[in-house]
Amino acid sequence: MTTILLVEDARDLARIVARELAAAGYRVVQAADGRTALAVAARERPDLVILDWMLPELDGLEVLRELRRSTATPVLMLTARGEEADRVIGLELGADDYLPKPFGMRELLARVRALLRRDQLLRRTLAVDRADRERPVRWGAFALDPAEHRATLDGEPLDLSPTEFALLHLLLRNPGRAFSRAYLIEQVWDQESVSGDRAVDNTVLRLRKKLGDYGDAIETVWGVGYRLRRDPP
């Protein structure tokens, strides 16, 4: 059963939201303050967190910061703060969606379902890509064989780190496909994405340099991440 952590200190609202979530088939665990929320999240490993902004002990943004240090669990923030700047702060810190108070239960449930579907799709896509890791691939002047851990460009071997090799292999298998940084962290690094992590950008920078004139084949997709050009140069 899908587990949702509801973090809300307003008792009446928490009771109503928990009741509606349970009626929709979700298992609900609750916390009424920020410190308890972090402890419950560590213990229960929920599939989604519904997080109020204004909380005792630690506010919602601090809880979000701590969660994003260790998990990519979807987070839906609830808040009475309606200013655009406030919403932007929450989203930039790693919230996946934002619902201002007051809100209707139908909208809340719709957003919960949408976030869970998005997360499930990401996990299925990850599973397919991981199953494809052992397939050799050729793209233009590139040839890569994961079994031999060998990559060549114009017949010359490329001196790549294991991470650079895995990233190049993923891109070569999927020309034209845009990958988010969060997806690349989960697929290449086999870790959960943490907001603000520059590992992907730094690795792409090194890989481009090692590819020389072919480095521009790895394109930046602004606001998303990276992709390999669809057609070989």
User: Does residue 195 have a pLDDT over 70?
Assistant: no
Q: Which of 107, 129, 151 is the last residue in one of the domains?
A: 129
Q: Which of 112, 129, 146 is the last residue in one of the domains?
A: 129
What CATH code is carried by the domain that includes residue 223?
A: 1.10.10.10
Q: Which of 78, 95, 129 is the last residue in one of the domains?
A: 129
pLDDT tens sequence across 178-190 = 999 888 888 888 7
**Number of structural domains the chain divides into:** 2
33 with 69, same domain: the answer is yes
Query: For the chain, what percent of residues have pLDDT higher than 70?
Result: 90
165 with 201, same domain: the answer is yes
> Range of 85's domain?
3-129
Tell me which DSSP letter residue 205 carries: H
Label each residue of 41-55 as H, E or C: HHHHCCCEEEEECCC
Tell me which DSSP letter residue 217 carries: G
105 found inside a domain: yes
pLDDT tens sequence across 116-152 = 998 888 777 767 666 666 788 999 999 999 888 999 9
DSSP string, 94-121: T-SEEEESS--HHHHHHHHHHHHHHHHH
pLDDT tens sequence across 17-72 = 999 999 999 999 999 999 999 999 999 999 999 999 889 888 888 999 899 888 88
Q: Which has the closest alpha carbon to 98: 26, 106, 107?
A: 107
